[in-house]
């Protein structure tokens, strides 16, 4: 049962071939046997999952056909869950139990989804490998010596290891797409404003977006539709109708124009990655799409702009962790200010401190114009590049990452090399576009991801193209071999 995709499980539940209790128990048993090797979950919720499964079976018996009813899912531990610990992978929030659900969590619960647990993440979603978690490192199911990517590495590893049918992650600079690439699954980052951020613990408010990690493209379409939509509690949420994304799957892509940005084939890219992506482009051409090479000239500045804007927003967002209202509090301070400083000293990890300092410096008097303001102007130029590109094509296609998953510990002492892991994904967040990663090959036995980039609020097109490619190939059917 744990090999079922979301849509296969959906059919099996509706046809009463399997109950939600049986399906949930199968995933819990696999989680018990596999999780010690992967360590994808910070919090596992067997009792909650079993109660929800019993309620789902009751609803199914009454003919309820909610798309996610009875489906066991995992949630990245940066999304608030009422009555359930939410740590953000940080010591400073260890033991924090939110009094409310994030909007996306509330939507999943309303549909009758089963919550298996909260997945591991780089602390406050700041990282590209899940090595920055304050608790433990998550391992890539394809090779336990490799990282699963980050910051949604726990969610990606859980889906790849089949300890959840699908999972929610978040994407601030590639944190859904990059781990999807490394773990050989599908990851979609919706347009900024498509999915509510209410209840998402903020890292960089103008960049964060909740996304989906699934086994195939149809699953991504189902899960995205369930969490998308306007939310009056999120001022950045856009009031647009949510399409039925499944309806576009299976439509031919003949005549679609695919842009190939030359800047995304960077120096130092692993040769096998480029070959796999070029082969995927050729496959799309066989399916009737036309390829057009183009330029996004300001791409080279995206990394620098991102690592000014994101830390600046983080320094403001993380100022709320003072040890007074909630979370960890240093108990032996000499006075209020000493307690405040030491709470942050011992509560935050090295990467979070690094980004707070970068951001505070970029926002400080005398440097604001030189750094933060200039980065925002570069952000506009990057957005303009994409606007011009989409006048010539319908979707862009490129590698998701320059290499396959790297070894645990390989880049942890070199922040710049770690940041370069996201060099091909950052621009989408700066421009607020939608994007996704799907499997397109292997190198050294490790998955390679193909990135699709779409116009704002045009998730339908990238899903349509991704599904056409997926159905013409077998990469998405590959599974890592894991034994208890």
pLDDT of residue 484: 64
237-252 pLDDT, tens digit per residue, is 999 999 999 999 999 9
* Nearest alpha-carbon partner for 165 in 20, 51, 40, 9: 9
CB 122 within 8 A of CB 351: yes
Q: Is residue 411 included in any domain, yes or no?
A: no
- Give the tokens for residue 51: 């109660």
Residue 225 is assigned to a structural domain of this protein: yes
Four-residue CA torsion sign, 72, 172, 177, 92: negative
Half-sphere exposure of 362 (CA within 13 A, CB side): 25
Residue 121 falls inside a structural domain: yes
Q: Tens of pLDDT along 438-450?
A: 999 999 999 999 9
Confirm whether 32 is domain-assigned: yes
What domain count does the chain have?
1
Picking from 104, 135, 138, the residue whose alpha carbon sits closest to that of residue 35 is 138
The CATH number of the domain holding residue 179 is 3.90.1300.10
Say if CB 331 and CB 105 are below 8 A apart: no
- Segment 457-470 shows an average pLDDT of 98
Query: What tens digit of pLDDT does each residue of 96-112 get?
Result: 999 999 999 999 999 99
Taking only the tens place, the pLDDT of each residue in 174-222 is 999 999 999 999 999 999 999 999 999 999 999 999 999 999 999 999 9
Q: Which two tokens stand for residue 389?
A: 């590109």
Statement: residue 483 has pLDDT above 80: no
Q: What is the DSSP letter of 371?
A: I
Domain-embedded: residue 57: yes
For residue 286, tell me if it sits in a domain. Answer: no
Q: What is the CA radius of gyration of the chain?
A: 21
Residue 167 domain-assigned? Answer: yes
Report pLDDT digits (tens) over 378-433: 999 999 999 999 999 999 999 999 999 999 999 998 988 999 899 999 999 999 99
d(CA 105, CA 291): 39
- Quick one: tokens of 193? 């404003």
Instruction: Identify whether 35 is part of a domain.
Output: yes
**Using one digit for the tens of pLDDT, what is the confidence trace for 240-299?**
999 999 999 999 999 999 999 999 998 889 999 999 999 999 999 999 999 999 999 999
Please report which confidence band the pLDDT of residue 479 belongs to, taking 50, 70 and 90 as the band edges: very high
- Domain extent, residue 228, equals 6-249
Which whole number is the average pLDDT over 9-23? 97
Reduce the DSSP state of residue 397 to 3 states and report it: strand
Annotated catalytic residues are 76, 151, 175
- pLDDT value of residue 325: 86
3 state SS of 342: helix
H-helix segments, 349-457: 350-363, 374-392, 415-419, 426-431
Q: Buried b vs exposed e over 75-87: b needs ≥16 C-beta within 10 Å? A: bbbbbbbeebbbb
């Amino acid at each position: 049962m744990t090999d079922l995709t979301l849509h296969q499980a959906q059919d099996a539940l509706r046809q009463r071939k399997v109950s939600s209790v049986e399906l949930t128990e199968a995933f819990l048993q696999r989680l018990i046997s596999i999780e010690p090797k992967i360590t994808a979950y910070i919090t596992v919720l067997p009792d909650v999952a079993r109660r929800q499964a019993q309620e789902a079976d009751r609803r199914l018996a009454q003919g309820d056909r909610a798309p996610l009813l009875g489906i066991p899912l995992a949630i990245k531990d940066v999304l608030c869950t009422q009555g359930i610990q939410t740590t953000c992978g940080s010591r400073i929030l260890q033991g924090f139990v939110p009094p409310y659900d994030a909007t996306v969590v509330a939507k999943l619960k309303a549909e009758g989804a089963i919550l298996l647990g909260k997945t591991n993440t780089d602390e406050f979603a700041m990282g590209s490998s899940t090595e920055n978690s304050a608790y433990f490192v998550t391992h890539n199911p394809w090779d336990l010596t490799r990282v699963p990517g980050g910051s949604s590495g726990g969610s990606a590893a859980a889906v790849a290891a089949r300890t959840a049918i699908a999972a929610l992650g978040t994407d601030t600079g590639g944190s859904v797409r990059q781990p999807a690439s490394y773990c050989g699954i599908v990851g979609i980052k919706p347009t900024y404003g498509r999915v509510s951020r209410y209840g998402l613990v903020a890292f960089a408010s103008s960049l964060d977006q909740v996304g989906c990690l699934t086994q195939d493209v149809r699953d991504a379409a189902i899960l995205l539709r369930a969490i998308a939509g306007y939310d009056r509690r999120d001022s950045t949420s856009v009031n647009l109708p949510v399409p039925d994304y499944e309806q576009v799957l299976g439509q031919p892509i003949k005549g679609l124009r695919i842009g190939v940005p030359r800047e995304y084939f960077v120096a130092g890219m692993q040769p096998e990655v480029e070959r796999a992506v070029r082969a995927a482009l050729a496959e799309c051409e066989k399916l009737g799409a036309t390829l057009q090479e183009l330029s996004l000239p300001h791409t080279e500045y995206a990394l620098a702009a991102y690592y000014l804007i994101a830390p600046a927003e983080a320094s403001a967002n993380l100022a709320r962790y003072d040890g007074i209202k909630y979370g960890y509090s240093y108990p032996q301070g000499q006075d209020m200010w000493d307690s405040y400083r030491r709470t942050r000293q011992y509560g935050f990890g090295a990467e979070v401190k690094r980004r707070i300092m970068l951001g505070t410096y970029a926002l400080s008097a005398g440097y604001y114009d030189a750094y933060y303001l200039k980065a925002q102007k570069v952000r506009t130029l990057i957005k303009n590049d994409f606007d011009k590109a989409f006048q010539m094509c319908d979707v862009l296609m490129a590698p998701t990452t320059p290499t396959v998953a790297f070894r645990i510990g390989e880049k942890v002492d070199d922040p710049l090399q770690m940041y370069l892991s996201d060099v091909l994904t950052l621009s989408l967040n700066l421009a607020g576009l939608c994007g996704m990663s799907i499997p397109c090959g292997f190198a050294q036995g490790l998955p390679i991801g193909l990135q699709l980039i779409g116009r704002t609020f045009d998730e339908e097109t990238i899903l349509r193209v991704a599904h056409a490619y997926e159905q013409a190939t077998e990469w998405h059917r590959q599974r890592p071999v894991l034994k208890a």
